[in-house]
Amino acid sequence: MKPVWRFSSDAKRAQLLLFQFHFYGFSNPKTIPSFTSVPYRGFTRKFCTESNNVSDLIPLFTAKACTTARERLINKVRILKNELLRESSEAGRVHSILDEYSDTLNLRYASGSVFIELMNQLDSKPSVALQVFNWRRKKSSVENPMDAYEYSKGIKAAGRSANIEFAVMLFKEAAIKGIKKTITYNALMSVFMVNGLADWCQSLFCDLKRDPTCDPSIATYNILISVFGGLMLVDHMEATFREIQKLDLAMNIYTYNYLIAGYLTAWMWDDMEKVFQMLMSGPVEPNMKTYMLMLRGYANSGNLDKMEEMYSLVSDHVNENGFKLISCMICAYSKSSEVDRLEKIEALMKFIPKEDYRPWLNVLLIKLYAKEDCLEKMENAINEAFQHGTSITTNSIMRCIIATYFRCNAVEKLESFVRRAEISGWVICRSLYHCKLVMYGSQGPLIAMHNVLQEMENVKLDCTKKTLWIMYKAYMSRGQGSMVLKTLGQMFKHGYEVPLGAFPS
């Protein structure tokens, strides 16, 4: 008969705690930090059945107690991190704070250490992470030596701070100490990668392959794929992928994401889709980065159906954080012939903060509203451009705007727009004034048409054949015979073709 477990006495409670200490990887209870302790008051019941043995208790320790200990660790490190960030402007103060927490920072547990957790939480603040690493480096000793994983963190922090020389020095220091590992190679390769030093990265990879003490890992090849993909060296990227397959290395989500990003950068949509389908049919699960990359790829390629399908999966995340992706989707809709593209664009625009002004997006909306003859919305977008000092320098967009004013028969608004465009330095083209000539010639006083000619002279635009033809037709339609003859004379003077029937026999 199996023993009956009872947790009523202090001795039994002590035995349970000692079992927990052993289970979490602590060989000496004296080294256990206070935040790894697990409450035991809930274990006072009897386990009297045949199935109650030690294996029945393991889920309690792993699922509840271990999670609680991990959360406590993270929370304690987060408090320390926040204190360091507040005092990060003074290096001496940072080191003083770390000295106060030195006992805690030196603690190690089964799945890592407090120091590594702190470095992880400081990933987005590389300058502070580098101060923490330098403190650890000075405090290291024979009794408390640094390992390769800690050096890799320092190398990466130096790289993110653009201190490449220091990163290389740390790599060499680790080698001198006999802890040059694949992880330190990978760290320095990632430094070269993020700083655009592709040749150095590839050279270090060759050194790694020649090193008899280290072997490239999947992380090593992932870095190479990222480098080659960013440079659109697709042949090199694919060769690296084939080598991974040849070595039968277990690919992870970073492998697939870097491949997708590489094909996306090269605008190779079919290959991007193949990698995604390979991922979906394999054992590796896609993550948020995967979906975001595919969403961008579908938007850039104009594949609206798949873009909308992907957006439905990650809309909450994109709406809250992916302003660049929203802009890509707006561009995709603006280039499409979707009947309801305007409604879809306006729905997406709600997720872009007012303060996040993008000139190119403003101009895109002006052009879109102009093509849709949405005069009021177009003018609102134009006013926004004037307020932010955004200039339109493309004749085609100006022609879109002018055509909208013409189709909407808004000559007064066109007049106001032309004046503001001249003052604000927007591109000035004859179409602006030709449109005014046509509109004034058909409905306005003729003196206004003459004023347009004066405006053209002010901006140094000469009359062309089209200008004179517009005036000729306007005068003919208004029965202004003398002005018709004067205009014909100007046509003769410049050698332009005279309209047939201008001089009836």
The token duo for 175 is 């080698």
pLDDT in tens, 436-450: 888 877 776 777 777
- 60 or 443: which leads in pLDDT: 443
Tokens of 306: 């798949």
CB 172 within 8 A of CB 185: no
Looking at residue 111, what is its pLDDT? 60
Phi and psi at 52, nearest 5°, equal -80, 105
What does the pLDDT look like over 270-318, one tens digit per residue? 999 999 999 999 999 999 999 999 999 999 999 999 999 999 999 999 9
Cα angle, residue 474 at apex, residues 469 and 479 outer, rounded to 5°: 125
- Tell me the C-alpha distance between 337 and 215, whole Å: 53
Question: What whole-number distance in Å separates Cα of residue 341 and Cα of residue 344?
Answer: 5
pLDDT at 188: 96
- Residue 231 CA to residue 423 CA, distance in Å, equals 43
Q: pLDDT tens for residues 15-49?
A: 444 434 443 344 444 343 333 333 333 333 333 33
CB 180 within 8 A of CB 172: no
DSSP of 164-230: HHHHHHHHHHHHHTT---HHHHHHHHHHHHHTT-HHHHHHHHHHHHH-TT----HHHHHHHHHHHHH
Q: State the average pLDDT over residues 78-94.
A: 83
Asked whether the beta carbons of 175 and 190 are under 8 A apart, the reply is no
CA distances from 369 to 206, 279, 363, 381 (A): 55, 40, 10, 9
Question: Tokens 């079919």 sit at which residue?
Answer: 270
pLDDT number for residue 187:
96
Contact 466, 498 (CB under 8 A): no
List of residues 6+ apart from 327 with CB closer than 8 A: 352, 358, 361
Amino acid at 293: L
Per-position b or e across 413-433, b if 16+ CB within 10 A of its CB:
bbbebbeebeeeebebbbbbb
Tens digit of pLDDT for each residue in 95-118? 888 888 888 787 776 666 888 888
How far is CA 238 from each of CA 47, 331, 399, rounded to the nearest angstrom?
58, 30, 46
- Binned at pLDDT 50, 70 and 90, residue 51 comes out as very low
Q: Provide the Cα torsion 183, 245, 192, 117; round to 10°.
A: -40
User: DSSP states of 215-282 as a string?
Assistant: ---HHHHHHHHHHHHHTT-HHHHHHHHHHHHHHT----HHHHHHHHHHHHHTT-HHHHHHHHHHHHTS
pTM of this prediction exceeds 0.95:
no
Q: What is the pLDDT of residue 263?
A: 97
409-433 residue pLDDT tens: 888 898 899 889 988 989 888 888 8
Say which amino acid occupies 314: V
DSSP SS3 for 396: helix
pLDDT at residue 66 above 90?
A: no
Q: Which residues contact 16 (CB under 8 A, 6 or more apart)?
A: 7, 40, 43
Predicted confidence at residue 420, as pLDDT, reads: 92
Q: Domain residues of the chain, as ranges?
A: 1-145, 287-356, 358-418, 429-505
Mean pLDDT, to the nearest integer, of 71-80?
81
Q: Give one DSSP letter per residue of 492-503, joined into a string.
A: HHHTPPPPTTSS
> Greater confidence, 484 or 209?
209
Q: What is the mean pLDDT of the chain?
A: 82
DSSP 5: B
Tell me the C-alpha distance between 257 and 230, whole Å: 12
CA distance 126 to 305: 41
Residues of the chain with pLDDT > 90, as a percent, come to 47
Q: Between 59 and 146, where is the model more confident?
A: 146
Find out whether 65 and 20 touch, Cβ atoms under 8 Å.
yes
How large is the average pLDDT for residues 124-149? Answer: 89
Q: What is the pLDDT of residue 185?
A: 96
44 by DSSP, 3-state: which?
A: coil
